Amino acid sequence: GQGVDEPLSATGFRQADAAGLFLSNVKFTHVFSSDLLRAKQTAATILGKNKFCKDLEIKYDARLRERKYGVAEGKPLTDLKAMAKAAGEQCPSFTPSGGETLDEVRERAKDFFEFLCQLAVELEQKEQDMHGVASRSSGTSAEQLVFPWTNHCSEAELSSDKSGASKALDANILVVSHGAYMRNWIGYFVSDLNCTLPTNLTKSQLSSVSPNTGVSHFIVKLENGNLLKPEITCVCLNQDSHL
C-alpha cells in the first residue's frame, strides 16, 4: 500500500538490476515514477543501466502510488483476505476501512494517462514548430523503437510507425509504479479504451498482478493529436523473462 514506505530488499535490487539490463538499449524520452521509495529506487536502478539516458530526470508523481489499503496496510495478504471474507466480499474488489476503492484507483490512473497523452501532443507540436513537418517525417530513428521484444510486434505495426512519423508521437515513456495500481490501469485500457491485446493472452493473465519488475509495453497512437481517441496496442504484458 501507501502507508508503509519501505526500501527495496536485496532481492528487489537484483530484480531492478535485471530489468535495467533488459531495457538498457531503449532510448526513453521521459521517466515517471511513483513517489514511494521502492518505486523511486527501481526507476533509478533501471536508468543507471541505460546506455542512452542515464542522466534523464525522473519525475515523481503521487498519482502512480500503489492502491491505499487503509487498516490492512503493513499486514499480511492473508489478513486482507480474512477481512474481505468477514465482510462477505472477495479481493481485490474489497475495500478495507480507510482504503481506496477500485474506482478511485482507476480515476488516478485515468488522470495520469490523460496527462501523458497531453504531454506527448505538446512535445509533437513543439517538434513541428521547430523543424517543420517535412523534416519531422524522417525523425523517427529505428534506435528509439528498439525494445527487447520488438520481434513480437507485427511488421505492419512497426512499419506504420515509421512511415507515419509525421503523425506518430516520439515520446517513449518509462513509467514505474505498483502491481495493484497497474492491474487497475490495464483494466482501464481494456474496458474503457478498447486496448488491442496479444492474441495469446489469457483472461487469468490479464487479471493477475505483475511480478516484481514485470514489464508491460504499450504503443499509444494519437492520430492528429486527438486526445479523445487514443489507439492503444499492448505488445506484451507483465513480461518477466529477465528475472
Return the pLDDT at 146: 53
Alpha helices in 23-101 (DSSP H): 37-48, 77-86
Q: Is 188 annotated as a binding residue?
A: no
For residues 225 and 121, the answer to whether their CB atoms sit within 8 Å is yes
CA 235 to chain centroid: 12
Sign of CA dihedral 203, 209, 213, 217: positive
Strands, E assignment, 46-196: 58-60, 173-176
For residues 139 and 166, the answer to whether their CB atoms sit within 8 Å is no
Q: Is 143 annotated as a binding residue?
A: no
Specify the DSSP element, H or E, that contains 239: strand 231-239
Q: Is 181 annotated as a binding residue?
A: no
Q: Is 106 annotated as a binding residue?
A: no
For 158-210, write each residue's pLDDT tens digit.
433 433 343 445 789 999 999 999 999 999 999 999 999 999 999 889 999 99
Please name the amino acid found at residue 184.
N
Kindly give the pairing relationship between strand 215-221 and strand 231-239. Answer: antiparallel
For 1-54, write each residue's pLDDT tens digit.
999 999 999 999 999 999 999 999 999 999 999 999 999 999 999 999 999 999
Return the pLDDT at 87: 97
Domains of the chain: 10-68+101-130+170-239 (3.40.50.1240)
- Taking Cα atoms as reference points, which of 118, 133, 225, 103 lies closest to residue 173? 118
For 102-157, write each residue's pLDDT tens digit.
999 999 999 999 999 999 888 878 877 776 554 443 344 444 445 665 544 433 34
Q: What is the rounded average pLDDT of the residues 210-234? A: 91
Specify the DSSP element, H or E, that contains 30: strand 30-33
Give the span between the Cα atoms of 230 and 113, in whole angstroms: 10
Return the pLDDT at 153: 42
Q: Is 67 annotated as a binding residue?
A: yes
Specify the DSSP element, H or E, that contains 129: helix 102-136
